[in-house]
Amino acid sequence: MDGILNINKPPGPTSFAIVAQLRRLIKEKRIGHGGTLDPLASGVLPLFLGRATRLVEYLHEYPKTYLANITLGIATDTYDAEGRVVATVDVARITREAIIQALSQFEGVITQTPPSYSAIKRHGQPLYALARKGLVLEANPRQVTISRLAIVDFQPPLLTLEIECGTGTYIRSLANDLGRELGVGAHLANLVRTSYGPFCINDAVSPSQMAVAAEQGKVSAFMQPPDVVLASWLAVTLTEEQEKIIGFGQQLSIEAGEAKRLRAYGHDGRLIALLVLDDMAGAWKPSKVFSTCS
């Protein structure tokens, strides 16, 4: 079973718990998710099955869109509603204009420090596990990209933002940093991932729907092809002789204009391999091979 399921994760379970549930339901061990959602977060969670797991890394090249509810005036140690309140400030003076001005500091390529309560590992253990043991460590700052920040609603103290960002961005950190910029503190109250690359929440299916589909043997009805995450790559169709050459790990000479990456298909439409250009040799070499003719 090779393909991608667009799951609508409910708030509560971890992303790994959703993966474990699907493994039990459809009896497929090879399942990986394309981007962790915090337990309280919900929304789009693409699950890659079978050989499609080898394509997870390419999903990370796409932007994600979130709808975030941020409570101004209350800061917590985890930067979300589960944490311990560490500061409370009146937000009566905060205007929509002040928020717009503060948000401008967080657009583009910025340096962001992930929460101390996160899945980032230090000494082989997640930071949240160390924090629960009393060892609260600050994560290393990283560069992230936030391409769009739009105010959807502002009913003090609740601010609703639509956010488009790149991989590695922590919306919890954004909420905390925004509160600090406004001088009142803040935390993330609720988060929904509404899209991730080609996957949208309107097309996502719930775990309960997948359970019914598994009982009826209709999981394939919700399966999307693995190459949906490769839509921006130039596609080429190989001859049977070229398939054999790829199977031996050898390079090919293909005219592909300015392209640097190719998705290669067999004459029957199967995804055969991913090819990358070897500039020195002026030829295409396989970076991943999925299947070839014998």
Give pLDDT tens digits for 158-180: 999 999 999 999 999 999 999 99
Active-site residue identified among 2, 38, 80, 177: 38
Superfamily of domain 3-62+198-226 in the CATH hierarchy: Pseudouridine synthase (3.30.2350.10)
pLDDT at 131 over 70: no
Strand partners, 159: 70, 154
Give pLDDT tens digits for 240-291: 999 999 988 899 999 888 999 999 999 889 999 999 999 888 899 999 998 7
CATH architecture of the domain with residue range 65-160+168-188: 2-Layer Sandwich (3.30)
Q: Kindly report the average pLDDT of the chain as a whole number.
A: 90
pLDDT at 134 over 80: no
Establish whether domains 65-160+168-188 and 233-289 are of one fold: no
Range from 4-8, 22-26, 131-135 that averages highest in pLDDT: 4-8
Q: Is 38 a catalytic residue?
A: yes
Give the pLDDT band of residue 119 (cuts 50, 70, 90): low
pTM of the entire predicted model: 0.91
Give the per-residue pLDDT at 294. 43
Give pLDDT tens digits for 57-115: 999 999 999 999 999 999 998 899 988 999 999 999 999 999 999 999 999 999 999 88
Q: Residue 201 has which token pair?
A: 């929440």
Q: Which CATH number fits domain 233-289: 2.130.10.10, 3.40.50.1100, 2.30.130.10, 2.60.120.10?
A: 2.30.130.10
pLDDT at 293 over 60: no
Task: List the domain boundaries for the chain.
Answer: 3-62+198-226, 65-160+168-188, 233-289
Give the pLDDT band of residue 129 (cuts 50, 70, 90): low
